[in-house]
Structure 1
């Protein structure tokens, strides 16, 4: 069946018919994506434009599905912005708040995983959608404005820490959560209550969306009433995996009003449940994508540096006063090193110069321009080896377009002891992406210099000493590290010094929180 006929047919389906055939429709779209991957760019663009045109005649919930396909396959921001505007403009009767919230998470997750989908207006549109949803849920709960528990009634020693997901020690946001809780309890002498709101990538009421992603959730944690970390014990509560649930939100608000914490700390942002609780005590949001402001309607935020010009429209959409954004270097906590590998044990060239490329979303983060740069280096240096660690399921495709690079490639997959692996590397090399801050901090700790573009979390964590302008300069910088031992030694020493700063949560996070506590008590801006 031709594409036009296929789209024309499904556009006539009722919503019930569409859902009955949803698996078949997704399978057909997956097959189409594979075909599009074999075509020239001009042919691919023409087919996507045809689909976009036909989607304009479909009901809005179906249009969202087809545009989500165009977004993910095109790898361009134009479809992202069109999709976001479609969700924003959709009538509530056609696309309700639960479905829009699911769309918000799906789009935001796609943009985070693939930087090519992010345009100039994308973050502003996401902020507008988030604010729209926050207002809708406030309205459903009858919340008309901030109604803080009076400051004199709040328990100055009690802090509620909320997050949308709690997983294991290999999960960077969970490590961030526990590290911040450790500082609050061990150094600031606070009693800490951790609440997993389970709001990450809400699937409740999800409508059609191409290649839906799901969040990890550990149901066994529902039976836990405490969590231990580095010798400290924290009270713990986990919401059921049915969020957003209005009854659960009401119960959490009641807990806030009854126990009266001095403030609420939201780790991660994009958590409407946390923001609703933040209508009753001051809320401080600490984003886990720390190179940009978090999506949060909480009154205060901690940011790694000052808000940039691109952050200001986002804050305006969220209704957050830019003067209440406090600066604090984002810090990390590592899983302790347990092994001491040799290069031979890892299958790494014993006398090679090893470039480490690390991440859980490398399939979407590594693009052709990055591979082409590595391919040129492989052509110039026989002793270079490119080692991928994490998740890169399509790594074998390198051999079809980058034969020189392929001969210099090693894929390690998931590794439980990242510090031990980094000890066998020489240089951390970062593709264009949003995340990766935790991995570069681990590399710097082991004395590996980094090479990164001036954007995203890796750039923010590594600092100016390890930034390059573009991939051309990155290529020259990698070659310089290989050829100039003196330069490498100096940069390695700087890497270790930077890592010390990135591990000092007591100084960075603790001091920033103490200053912010005084502002909260006085009710003034930062």
Structure 2
């Protein structure tokens, strides 16, 4: 990546982006018909760059894009019309092929005409950058060679502002924007915002007191290390460096401040533990040196050290490996401590670190030179804009130093400047062993009055720990109107997605219901209810609502929705109108660490036709670009204008569908196995009744004015002539093939489920586990053990004829998840038995003959299938019988509508 140093700032208003290599920076699959409201990096890196400029730097008002190719020019226009740009004006010009010979001259002329302060060139043409800079000494340029440059620098945690400031580059692609999906925390979406906190100050310990506490002599040389990750950093190689220093100077002692004590085998007496990380800033001024261990908050404690006149030794190579970090590998990154440290003390390796430490100890002149520079560095920290975070520490221009705990400081950092760097400071403060309740209590204490920031920390921590306690706390934040209606709706939806995708429970269903009920009432209060007249009698119109319609072949909720529509219209003499509500909208997304972005298939118009076999349906879907609360009210009006006798929502909750109970019957059909959270007249539970298990929930819903109806979950049998053979997939004829199917296998095949797979496969070498769908991390996963490498196979998505693929399988094995219902029943249709837990969709669809109540019985049931041929045959026959019942959607819909009339009149 070529950077030209002109030292200009990106605060100035006009930027030109030259798309010199079109295809490398504007990826678009011409066969893909799904449009993203927020383009993700795998589809549109250039859009990521523009969004980052728009979100991060409010000083920019105009961006001009010059592209040299006409290829995909229509796509170019369509995609940029969809960008959720808030602050800047974006214009673009696609240059024709005829300019190829004079490309540089024409581009330079265009730049001269636009007169920008900053030019970003996406491509390898360095001559173009040089010629542009000849136009004016005030034009700053940067070349980004390829998208790999962006990705590589992104891992260094630098920010976009430094692109034009000529330091380093990172474009905030979806990897870093996933914290706040549209680029930054949306403060306008937050209705509650507290005052900046003032935390209790800490009095530094006197050196003689510390020496007495540690039982050391006055001439001891104290080297401080402070982190809850010390046990990971201080491996054998690192300890050899420590031993070498101690051998050369026995007066050296390492003061280790951490909440987690660990064993050190050699020179134990030279390692003094202080088992409280909050004491790090207290003991720091009493130490001789601070040795950096490169944690996410290292810059913060390095600044503390500088203000305390303590030299900081930083070893650049001290980074944790992904193996050591496990699930936390994304949050411990190379810190930006170089920005405040002295170059003389930045060490490329441990050998240099030994030399620098010994020189500081033995060479008085070198030590005094370092201390003189430190005094200058103090003022650099103070003047730097990042150092606004230190205002709580320094009350006067004379830099009188006061301190607080490191824990309080990193939370304060996050309040002042909430971005991925400060988020990582908070996350990396805690060890993987840290008690969840400690983290939750800290979030409540240090972020009191900042519900948006609490939600971000808790959701990011959930991404690491996958424990429902964090989801429960986020849900509680939504009870009160801390956020706007759309923002609350979005966060609530994401919490549900996290819970579903990770097969973990969040808040108690009563809390979840209270949140949604409060949200629904807030939305209902924005509607003029007086303009609606009650719809009575049978009008012959049924409106079916759903969040989105996606791929009919692979997306189970879409298949279910269209199946229900078909049978209601075809056999029950009703006209069905489909309304895709696009709920919840990204219009006010944010305030939660998001890694499950919603796919909305957005057609070019808000009304279109869909054919399901021989039946035609009108579909209405609001345009996403201008989605807001008024859009939702407009959709309610659209539904009312059709005069429906019933509004039938498929997919749990919908504010729009539930609001229709103002004027007609409204029911909500959960695309899952349990009770949905809804405020409609009727909540439909898609399974057989379980009287004892369901009694409490039925009483609760009925006490809130809702009726409960049971209706079996059904599916439409996909018909295909496509056939599969084991030979084409390299599967032995005598192999016993178990399959797992899903679009989120990377998250659903957990460590726990992996151990189950390994135990099963170890029973017999003829066992083979086949994964079908989306398992993007399969290559890394399969490398975990030899048995996974030898006895598993990943075949990707099978978009055509999937129902027939089961013919080459022996058993359908469902991971410990909530979904899998449709694929399970398709397997049953082919006589392939299912193994699932009772609580998920697969267990509900398959029925009691094919599920187990607990994980302990899971392996035993699988083993019985491949060791007992008679049992296998009996179960195969039962599978086919069960499938026939499950495919009878006609009868199920007929009974459901009769039950609705019965309970609602």
| Greater shift in the superposed pair: 72-81 or 494-503 | 72-81
Instruction: Quote the offset at 1:50 in angstroms.
Output: 6.0
Change (3 A) 1:14 1:51: closer
Instruction: Quote the offset at 1:340 in angstroms.
Output: 0.5
1:346 equivalent in alignment to 2:732: no
SS of structure 2 residue aligned to 1:220:
coil
Cross-structure match for 2:890:
506
1:73 equivalent in alignment to 2:447: no
Quick one: which of 522, 525, 540 aligns to 1:136? 522
Change (3 A) 1:318 1:132: farther
Counterpart CA distance in 2 for 1:81 and 1:462 is 30
1:445 equivalent in alignment to 2:836: no
TM-score, normalised by the number of residues in structure 1: 0.87
Quick one: which of 671, 675, 683 aligns to 1:301? 683
1:247 equivalent in alignment to 2:630: yes
SS of structure 2 residue aligned to 1:374:
helix
Q: How does 1:317-466 map to 2 (within 5 A)?
A: 320-321=704-705, 324-417=707-800, 418-466=802-850
Higher RCO (CA < 8 A, seq sep 6+)? 1
| 1:303-352 deviation digits (Å, cap 9, x = unpaired) | 22237646844883797546x22222110014322410111212333320
Quick one: which of 112, 123, 141 aligns to 2:500? 112
Change (3 A) 1:48 1:250: closer
RMSD, aligned α-carbons: 2.9
SS of structure 2 residue aligned to 1:207:
coil
Instruction: Quote the offset at 1:3 in angstroms.
Output: 4.8
Q: How does 1:202-241 map to 2 (within 5 A)?
A: 202-220=585-603, 222=605, 224-241=607-624
Instruction: Quote the offset at 1:183 in angstroms.
Output: 1.0
Cross-structure match for 2:489:
101
Instruction: Quote the offset at 1:10 in angstroms.
Output: 6.2
Contact in 2 for aligned 1:292/1:311 (Cα 8 Å): no
Counterpart CA distance in 1 for 2:412 and 2:808 is 58
SS of structure 1 residue aligned to 2:605:
helix
Contact in 2 for aligned 1:453/1:470 (Cα 8 Å): yes
Cross-structure match for 2:454:
63
Change (3 A) 1:319 1:436: farther
Select the structure of larger CA radius of gyration: 2
Counterpart CA distance in 2 for 1:231 and 1:451 is 35
Q: How does 1:22-37 map to 2 (within 5 A)?
A: 22=419, 24=421, 28=424
Instruction: Quote the offset at 1:109 in angstroms.
Output: 0.5
Counterpart CA distance in 2 for 1:126 and 1:114 is 17
Gaps of 5+ in 2: 1-293, 301-406
| 1:151-170 deviation digits (Å, cap 9, x = unpaired) | 14xx5311111111111212
Contact in 2 for aligned 1:184/1:190 (Cα 8 Å): yes
Cross-structure match for 1:39:
none
1:263 equivalent in alignment to 2:654: no
Cross-structure match for 2:534:
149
Cross-structure match for 1:191:
575
Counterpart CA distance in 2 for 1:318 and 1:111 is 25
Counterpart CA distance in 2 for 1:341 and 1:262 is 46
Counterpart CA distance in 2 for 1:128 and 1:481 is 44
Cross-structure match for 1:316:
700
Counterpart CA distance in 2 for 1:276 and 1:384 is 52
Contact in 1 for aligned 2:296/2:425 (Cα 8 Å): no
Cross-structure match for 2:509:
123
Contact in 2 for aligned 1:64/1:208 (Cα 8 Å): yes
Instruction: Quote the offset at 1:374 in angstroms.
Output: 1.9
Contact in 2 for aligned 1:80/1:122 (Cα 8 Å): no
Contact in 2 for aligned 1:48/1:70 (Cα 8 Å): no
Counterpart CA distance in 2 for 1:225 and 1:319 is 40
| 1:79-98 deviation digits (Å, cap 9, x = unpaired) | 22122213324xx3x52222
| Greater shift in the superposed pair: 221-230 or 277-286 | 221-230
SS of structure 2 residue aligned to 1:219:
coil
SS of structure 2 residue aligned to 1:88:
coil
Counterpart CA distance in 1 for 2:668 and 2:458 is 32
Contact in 2 for aligned 1:253/1:280 (Cα 8 Å): no
SS of structure 2 residue aligned to 1:192:
strand
SS of structure 2 residue aligned to 1:108:
helix
TM-score, normalised by the number of residues in structure 2: 0.52
Contact in 2 for aligned 1:269/1:287 (Cα 8 Å): yes
Counterpart CA distance in 1 for 2:604 and 2:890 is 28
Change (3 A) 1:253 1:468: closer
Instruction: Quote the offset at 1:257 in angstroms.
Output: 3.6
Counterpart CA distance in 2 for 1:104 and 1:486 is 48
Contact in 1 for aligned 2:650/2:670 (Cα 8 Å): yes
Cross-structure match for 1:292:
674
Instruction: Quote the offset at 1:8 in angstroms.
Output: 5.2
Counterpart CA distance in 2 for 1:446 and 1:427 is 10
| Greater shift in the superposed pair: 43-52 or 470-479 | 43-52
| 1:142-190 deviation digits (Å, cap 9, x = unpaired) | 449x9761414xx531111111111121221111111111111110011
Contact in 2 for aligned 1:299/1:320 (Cα 8 Å): no
Instruction: Quote the offset at 1:69 in angstroms.
Output: 1.3
Contact in 2 for aligned 1:298/1:320 (Cα 8 Å): no
Contact in 1 for aligned 2:579/2:621 (Cα 8 Å): yes
Counterpart CA distance in 1 for 2:783 and 2:695 is 40
Cross-structure match for 1:476:
860
Quick one: which of 153, 170, 179 aligns to 2:563? 179
Instruction: Quote the offset at 1:261 in angstroms.
Output: 1.3
